Amino acid sequence: MLHLSTKYTESVSGIQEYLVSSSGQMSLPAAARHRWQLDQGGPVDVLDLGFGVLTVPKGEGRRLLNDLLSGEEHAERARALHDDADLGTT
Express each pLDDT in 41-67 by its tens digit. Answer: 999 999 887 888 889 899 988 888 778
**pTM listed for this prediction:** 0.61
- How far from 77 is each of 3, 13, 61, 84, 85, CA to CA, in Å? 31, 29, 15, 11, 15
Residue 40 reports pLDDT greater than 80: yes
Report the chain's mean pLDDT, rounded to a whole number.
78
- As a whole number of angstroms, the distance between CA 48 and CA 62 comes to 12
Length of the chain: 90
Express each pLDDT in 66-80 by its tens digit. Answer: 787 777 777 777 777
